[in-house]
Amino acid sequence: MLKFYISSANPHCEINSYLLTYLERELKGIKGILETDTPDSADIIIIGTCVVDATNENISRETLINLRKRYPNKRVYVAGCLSNFDPHFIKANKFDVFDKNKILAECYRKNVERIPMVSLLNRYCDEEILRNENYFLSRRENIFYINISEGCTNACSYCAIKIAKGDIRSIPIESIIEQLEENKNLIAGNFICLLADDCGSFGIDNNESFPELLIKIKKKISCEYKLIIHYWFPLHFLNQFKMIPAEIWKRIHYINIPLQSCSDRILKLMNRNYSVSDVLDAINSIKKINPGIKLVTHIIYGFPSETIDEFKESFHLVSVFDRIIFSCYSDRKGTRASHIKGKISENEKMRRTVLILKEQEKYKQIRITESDIFKKSLTRIK
Ligand code: SF4
């Protein structure tokens, strides 16, 4: 019997969770292969990683290094962005790059040849290995996730994901419709989550487009469902929202439109060339069609040269969005933003984090992602 262990170093990344959940289901479907609850008893370990910010990158590295120390000879597959972002790290620590087909082939091969289980060098396992027991896969049974594309057509100056994933690669609309049709029984009465680094970039590599996809889904999938759209780059959203008929807007339950800043000046430095007021006007017209729609956005605070007034401007978003997720800026290796002058000091970032925490007490919409600055700021409040 071959045993595998699968988990994510960043369970908040929907794209990672999707990939790992998909692979987990495939592996569990193979006779003679078992999933284990701890890496301790597994023959192969698969870990989802994330480089969206320095905190998540560090958690991913620490998780992998801990695993390697405990299991020097085990095969550890690295899924998610870290493998492309830092291939030297992967090679130096003898990890394998996640490749769904390669893993499945290995499982089949091992199973057929009845290779004995790898002898365990260290049976000790505690939460520290994965840093936190919450780093398990998130499963939401009433959502049918479908990863429609990888990468994007944009070039945000701070983005490490783009370095890791590169240009857009989309699944053809026909294949997406086929998958949805095959799973109509799961979809009926539930949610379809269209997942991508940027749904707005979808299809450009195939001469197709995101509005075209939404229109085809509406035409071909006749059962009742609601749509969730995970990440729609604001500039593409602005160019595309009018192409989507009202009857489709009424089916959209939730959209994540990451504004990242409320200052047009900072957005220019981020190389995200849209105007905040244009995006908010577009959202307003959508709310007229579908008043119940749920809207989520992300804000990066402490971007180089951001003034305190530009930062505070983001608090006004509570009147528009159902959730505003704040993340503290950190320099990422190889990005243009890491060379922009006017770095915000650690103390100032801490001061702004404390302000966010205070706003969070007033408004339930406000959330903040954990980082070293966040932890230090909590200590300051106490
Ligand atoms: S849209 Fe910008 S932030 Fe998002 S993946 Fe593409 S380059 Fe990165």
For the stretch 333-382, pLDDT in tens is 889 999 999 999 999 999 999 999 999 999 989 999 877 788 788 777 66
User: Can you tell me the distance from the alpha carbon of 192 to that of 205, in angstroms, rounded to the nearest whole number?
Assistant: 23
179 and 323 assigned to the same domain: yes
Position 70: which residue type?
R
Q: Do 193 and 116 reside in the same domain of the chain? A: no
Task: Evaluate whether residue 131 is within a structural domain.
Answer: no
Residue/partner pairs of 375-379 with CB below 8 Å, 24 or more apart:
376/350, 377/350, 377/353
Q: Is the whole-model pTM more than 0.85?
A: no
288 & 375 share domain: yes
- Gap from CA of 306 to ligand 1 centroid (Å): 20
Looking at the structure, tell me whether residues 114 and 187 fall in a common domain: no
Let me know if residue 90 belongs to a domain. yes
On whether residue 129 sits in a domain, the answer given is: no
pLDDT for residue 183: 81
Instruction: Kindly state whether residue 136 falls inside one of the protein's structural domains.
Output: no
Q: Ligand 1 center to residue 197 CA distance, Å? A: 7
Residue 256: CB within 6 Å of ligand 1?
Answer: no
163: domain range? 143-381
> Of the candidates 124, 155, 187, which is a domain's last residue?
124
Which residues in the chain land under pLDDT 50? Answer: 112-139
CATH number at residue 32: 3.40.50.2300
Q: Do 51 and 187 lie in a common domain?
A: no
Is residue 137 included in any domain, yes or no? no
How far apart CA 50 and CA 328 sit, in angstroms, is 16
> Residue 135 domain-assigned?
no
Q: Is 197 in the pocket of ligand 1 (CB under 6 A)?
A: yes
Residues 370, 241, single domain; the answer is yes
- Ligand 1 centroid–CA 165 distance in Å is 10
Q: Are residues 118 and 149 in the same domain?
A: no
Identify whether 293 is part of a domain.
yes
The answer on 112 and 50 residing in a single domain is yes
* Tally of domains in the chain: 2
Q: How far is the CA of 330 from the centre of ligand 1 (A)?
A: 15
Q: What is the pLDDT of residues 238-278, one digit of tens each?
A: 999 999 999 999 999 999 999 999 999 999 999 999 999 99
Last residue of a domain, one of 95, 124, 153: 124
CATH number at residue 170: 3.80.30.20
The verdict on residue 130 lying in a domain is no
Nearest CA to ligand 1 atom 2: 156
Ligand 1 site, residue 156, Cβ cutoff 6 A: yes
Length of the chain: 382
Q: Which residue is closest in CA terms to ligand 1's atom 4?
A: 197
158 in ligand 1 pocket by Cβ < 6 Å?
A: no
The residue to mutate among 56, 158, 159, having the most atoms of ligand 1 within 8 angstroms of its beta carbon, is 159
Pick the last residue of a domain from 124, 159, 176: 124
CB of residue 233 inside a 6 A radius of ligand 1: yes
| Euclidean distance between CA atoms 378 and 381, whole angstroms | 5
Q: What is the per-residue pLDDT for 359?
A: 95
Q: Are residues 187 and 231 in the same domain?
A: yes
CB of 161 sitting under 6 A from ligand 1: yes
Q: What is the 3-state secondary structure (H, E, C) of the chain?
A: CEEEEEEECCCCCHHHHHHHHHHHHHHHCCCCEEECCCHHHCCEEEEEECCCCHHHHHHHHHHHHHHHHHCCCCEEEEEECHHHHCHHHHHHCCCEECCHHHHHHHHHHHHHHCCCCCCCCCCCCCHHHHCCCCCCCCCCCCEEEEECEECCCCCCCCCHHHHHHCCCEECCHHHHHHHHHHCHHHHCCEEEEEECCCHHHCCHHHCCCHHHHHHHHHHHCCCCEEEEEECCCHHHHHHHHHHCCHHHHCCEEEEECCCECCCHHHHHHCCCCCCHHHHHHHHHHHHHHCCCCEEEEEEEECCCCCCHHHHHHHHHHHHCCCEEEEEECCCCCCCCHHHCCCCCCHHHHHHHHHHHHHHHHHCCCEEECCCHHHHHHHHHHC
Same domain, 225 and 302: yes
Angle at which helices 14-28 and 100-113 cross, to 10°? 20
Which of 84, 147, 162, 235 is the pocket-test mutation for ligand 1 (most atoms within 8 Å of CB)? Answer: 162
- Spatial distance between the Cα atoms of 307 and 279, rounded to a whole number of angstroms: 22
Interatomic CA distance for residues 158 and 336, integer angstroms: 6
